[in-house]
Structures are given as C-alpha cells and as structure tokens.
Structure 1
C-alpha cells in the first residue's frame, strides 16, 4: 500500500468507529460533537469525506444500504485497527497547540484599547465559566459509569485547562496579572 498519510481527522474517524462500532458519517458527527468535539475542533464536513478515503485505503470497510436512503456505514478493518493501535502507541512530539481567537485578539489589542481588552476578558470569563459548568455536569453524569472511565481523564484535563484560562482572564479583568505570576513562582519552588 506504500506510505499512507493519515491526519488527526483520520485518527478521529478510526478511533470513533473503534469505540462505537459500525457508523454512518452522521453518527460520527454526532458522536464527535458529544466527545472529542469539545476539545478538538475541525470542519465536520471532513467526517463525511474522510471515511470514504479511509475505505479506499483499506482501513475501513464500507457497506451501503440497498434500498431507501442508501446510507453508508463504515466498519473498522484489521488494517484500520492496526493503524489506530500504532498511532496510539507512538510518542507525540508535537508541541501543545492552542488556537484561541481570544488570545489572538488579545495579542493585537494589548497596545490598543484597554476597554477592548477588559470587554474581551469579561466575555472570556463568561465563556469559560459556562464550559466548566458543562464539563462538571459531564463528570456528575458519567463519573461513576465504568465504561466512561477511560475518557474521564480527558475530561479532567479539559477542566484543568478551562480553570487555568478562567484564572488568567479573571486576573486580566481585575488588572492583577501579578497574582498569576506569584502563583506560578510558588508552584516552581522546590518542595
């Protein structure tokens, strides 16, 4: 088959089908929206095109309904399962990426209008508080479900990141970034 290039979206599709079992693109879109979509954003149209590409590579098997809507359902092949397992077992050397529009606006606004920065900070506080509430509801709903436990670790990371962002934007809105700097210095001290 030669050198096969798989993207992060490829692995999202393979991983979702490995978790869910045979799936249509619509089912993948819904499953992603209720799981990795909280922290991994990409155009959902890719969930309609990527399965066909992966089927062409032999990583998914495609079945099409003979009647009715002729829905396409994709299943993981042994080669697809092996590709997913290889990816999961390989180290990740990419640096953490944060593509945050608010951070971009902050960068370009810093020398400009302090009112814009304060308004941005207040809006971000609200958004992060809302996301924390959603994540905490998920912890309450799924925290004791043994089937959900492997993915609860990802939810904990999401909560930590949301709380860190909330601390930053709150300190910025209060004009007290020194509070964050002091907290980082305390964490860096040897114990």
Structure 2
C-alpha cells in the first residue's frame, strides 16, 4: 500500500497523541512538522477519511455539539506506521530553494544583485535558525516525542547555519563576484 508522506504524518501524530480531529492534527503539524515538511491544511482534512477507508484509522463522530470527527489508529495503521519507520531506505530528498535557483543564473545579472540576495538570504537563514533554537529551548522534557522533536530541530539548526554561512561568504566576497567562493566554517558556524 502506497501512502503519501502526509498520511504517515497523520498516522504518526495519532499514534503519539491519541485520537484527534483534523483541526487538532493541523495544530500539531504546525508546532512540529511545518518547519521541515509543510502540509496544506486541506490535506489534513482529506487524509484521515481516506486512511479510515483503508482500515488504518477508525472514525468516531460526536453525537452532540459540533459533531467533530475523531480519528483513532487501528492495528493495521500501527503496522503501516511501523513498516514505514523500519524501512532503511527513503526517497531522495526534495529540495526546492528559490534563492539557489537564482544563484544558478546569477552570472547573467548585475553582481550587486547577488550581493543583495546573499545578504537577505543570510539574514533569513539566521532568523530561522534562531527560531528553531527557541523552539528547541521551549521543549518540555516530559512531553511525548520530545527527543524526536529535539533531534529534528537540531538538524534544522545545522541546516540553517550552513546556509547562513554560505550566503554570508557570498555577501562578503571582496574578490571578483564571478569567481566561485568557498564558504569557510570559521566563526560562521557559531551564532553571531
């Protein structure tokens, strides 16, 4: 059975936190997954009923009030999640970076444009790195999934540090802007 990544996110969040409504799934995704794997909100409303049709979740509707729909993990859903988690192979990472795409054609533009782009990118990556650091510092040690979230945020911090260091090197290059420059780890790897 081929499932989408968002379907595995739904299974994983329900396995970790118990029965949830699509709205609750949306809130959990925003606090945990969005920085690394954005999922459209509409997808979080489509996936649970589809997973219920496949027998991986069951659906329970409130009898009164707003008649919210709660989704529960089934044993088949647990097996599907475990099979996904235990598979050593994963698809090639998808990386779509608009700034990197512009960098591919920077030689066709004004060198000052590249410097401005680099400064903006360095600032944005530093800001995102600090946001991840704040999220990591705010983790509660007793919360379910804290270790996984801490690891995910640590990887995100390293990723943002590397991008910031690269763009800072481009922005501060004194030499010919058409010459490739290599980022140096020196103090770029430390938060300034």
Give yes or no for TM over 0.5.
Answer: yes
After the TM superposition, which parts of structure 1 deviate over 6 Å for at least 4 consecutive aligned residues? none
SS in 2 for 1:163: helix
Q: Which runs of 5+ in 1 are unaligned?
A: 184-191
> Paired residue for 2:160, among 155, 162, 166?
162
Tell me: CA distance 1:108–1:157, structure 2 relative to 1, closer, same or farther (3 Å).
Answer: same
Number of residue pairs matched?
179
2:148 aligned partner: 150
Higher helix proportion (structure 1 or 2) = 1
Tell me: CA distance 1:50–1:120, structure 2 relative to 1, closer, same or farther (3 Å).
Answer: same
Question: TM-score w.r.t. structure 2 length?
Answer: 0.85
Q: 1:20 and 2:23 equivalent?
A: no
Deviates more, 1:140-149 or 1:39-48: 140-149
Does the Cα contact within 8 Å between 2:22 and 2:45 map onto a contact in 1?
yes
How well do the aligned residues superpose, as a CA RMSD in angstroms?
A: 1.9
1:7-86 map, 5 Å: 7-86=4-83
1:120 aligned partner: 117
Q: Give the Å deviation of 1:70.
A: 1.4
Does the Cα contact within 8 Å between 2:15 and 2:73 map onto a contact in 1?
yes
Question: TM-score w.r.t. structure 1 length?
Answer: 0.85
Q: 1:171 and 2:174 equivalent?
A: no
Does the Cα contact within 8 Å between 1:122 and 1:170 map onto a contact in 2?
yes
Tell me: CA distance 1:146–1:161, structure 2 relative to 1, closer, same or farther (3 Å).
Answer: same
1-side partners of 2:164 and 2:78: how far apart? 38
Q: Which runs of 5+ in 2 are unaligned?
A: 175-179, 186-192
Q: Give the Å deviation of 1:95.
A: 2.2
1-side partners of 2:116 and 2:104: how far apart? 14
Does the Cα contact within 8 Å between 1:124 and 1:166 map onto a contact in 2?
yes
2-side partners of 1:63 and 1:146: how far apart? 26
